[in-house]
Amino acid sequence: MDSDILVSRTRIATTTQGATGYLTIDLAALGRNYRKLVSMLAPVRAGAVVKADAYGLGADRVGRTLYGEGCRHFFVAQFVEAVRLRPALAHDAQILVLNGLQPGNEIACAEMGIVPVLNSLAQWRQWSAAARILKRCLPAVLQFDTGMSRLGFPREERRELAAALRDGSNVEILFIMSHLASADDMGSEQNGEQFAEMSRIADEFPGFDISFANSGGVFLGDAYHGVLARPGIALYGGAPNAGEKNPMEPVVSLNVAVVQTRTVPAGAKVGYGGAHVTQRETRLATIAAGYADGLPRCLSDRGAVYFKGVRLPIVGRVSMDSTTIDITALPEGALTFGSLVEVLGRHQTLEDIARDAGTISYEILTGLGDRYDRQYR
């Protein structure tokens, strides 16, 4: 038995030491980001959006860290995420499901003490029916569509909902909410339009607390804060507002190992389809990450990685499991088999990669694969 344990531990150590990529998640920086937002919002409370496995970083570890910082409201998108997160958090932590519930999940949701965000009369009726079956009042949040046309009670359902609330209900409304569609653009007219619509809704549904601000909304000013903000990307180090200096600390760094290096002559074809043709003798390195690991294929011939501060452009098409980079700018022999290059870190942010890929930081962060060795600190 002792020998089995030794073998097991050896395998773990070998895998960790010889990983093809190292994704480091700085939980201390996460905590500082939360505290920064709390200080900006006070006396308004700050919840945390931990959907999509806390944007790919591990909802259990992230959730426990934020709970330790005083967070008590955790937002996920789907009921299955709430079920997975519930055991990681103390009983006084409230988990709220932004998409509401699919039919058939109501009783389980109620019994686990999870709170659905109701987005339509259909969801309202299902949750009310569950309350009747259980013979008790059940908590919920009401979400209203204020101009995003995605989730929330549409305008045409508001009158019937208001009547149901006036007539008495077995559903306890904790607060009402909506989602800002353009809060990352502080100059967007849509912010003001949604604020005006949310004000009208507050008049139609008086007496309820309001949750309105997401990450970008925190920086739009006190009027947008309500009583509970719902930051997401800002917690994880992403820029909350486009075109502005990012006030948040980076939480994630990613270093990927070199699999092979080679020197090719002018006219050599690189990668699938021979899409890149070298113009001169070129030194190349193949690194052990591709689009299956979160490096979008649209980084082909556009993105870059770094080694000791030197930018190394991606050449050819990003493959599923590997990416080729031009290392000619480095001294010969500086980068070899097993060397690590920086994909995310001091020299390249989430926003930098997103810009090169023609996407947003959210997609980059949530796409980071599970083949990296994850190191929490």
Residue 107: which CATH number?
Answer: 3.20.20.10
Residue range 214-252, pLDDT digits in tens: 999 999 999 999 999 999 999 999 999 999 999 999 999
Question: Can you give the pLDDT at residue 6?
Answer: 40
Same domain, 210 and 76: yes
Is residue 246 in some structural domain? no
For the cut 60, the answer to whether the pLDDT of residue 5 exceeds it is no
State how many domains the chain has: 2
Provide mean pLDDT across the span 141-170: 95
Active site residue 135: no
Is residue 7 in some structural domain? no
Is residue 15 in some structural domain? no
Same domain, 130 and 69: yes
Is residue 58 in some structural domain? yes
- Write down which residue in 193, 211, 236 finishes a domain: 236
Whether residue 65 contacts residue 59, with contact meaning beta carbons closer than 8 Å, is answered with: no
- Closest by Cα among 136, 135, 206 to 176: 206
Is residue 289 in some structural domain? yes
Provide mean pLDDT across the span 45-57: 98
Is residue 2 in some structural domain? no
Same domain, 197 and 268: no
**CATH number, residue 295:** 2.40.37.10
Is residue 9 in some structural domain? no
Q: Indicate the average pLDDT of the chain.
A: 95
Looking at the chain, the whole-number percentage of residues with pLDDT higher than 90 is: 94
- Write down which residue in 211, 236, 261 finishes a domain: 236
- Domain containing 155 equals 27-236
- Write down which residue in 236, 269, 294 finishes a domain: 236
Same domain, 270 and 204: no
For the cut 50, the answer to whether the pLDDT of residue 255 exceeds it is yes
Provide mean pLDDT across the span 206-213: 97
For the cut 50, the answer to whether the pLDDT of residue 11 exceeds it is no
For the cut 90, the answer to whether the pLDDT of residue 357 exceeds it is yes
For the cut 60, the answer to whether the pLDDT of residue 117 exceeds it is yes
Query: If DSSP states are collapsed to H, E and C, what string results for 127-154?
Result: HHHHHHHHCCCEEEEEEECCCCCCCCEC
Is residue 131 in some structural domain? yes
Active site residue 51: yes
Same domain, 308 and 231: no
- 17 or 264, greater pLDDT: 264
Same domain, 190 and 260: no
**Pairing verdict, β 304-307 and 310-313:** antiparallel
Question: Can you give the pLDDT at residue 17?
Answer: 73
Same domain, 47 and 189: yes
Same domain, 226 and 262: no
**Pairing verdict, β 210-211 and 171-177:** parallel
Same domain, 217 and 129: yes
Question: Can you give the pLDDT at residue 167?
Answer: 82
Same domain, 232 and 258: no
Residue 9: pLDDT band with limits 50, 70, 90:
very low
Same domain, 70 and 134: yes
Residue 272 CA from chain centroid, whole number: 31
Provide mean pLDDT across the span 274-297: 97
From 34, 36, 51, 306, the catalytic residue:
51
Same domain, 35 and 129: yes
Question: Can you give the pLDDT at residue 16?
Answer: 61
Looking at the chain, the whole-number percentage of residues with pLDDT higher than 70 is: 96
From 22, 67, 272, 362, the catalytic residue:
272
Question: Can you give the pLDDT at residue 7?
Answer: 40
Burial class (CB in 10 A: 0-12, 13-18, 19+), 53: middle
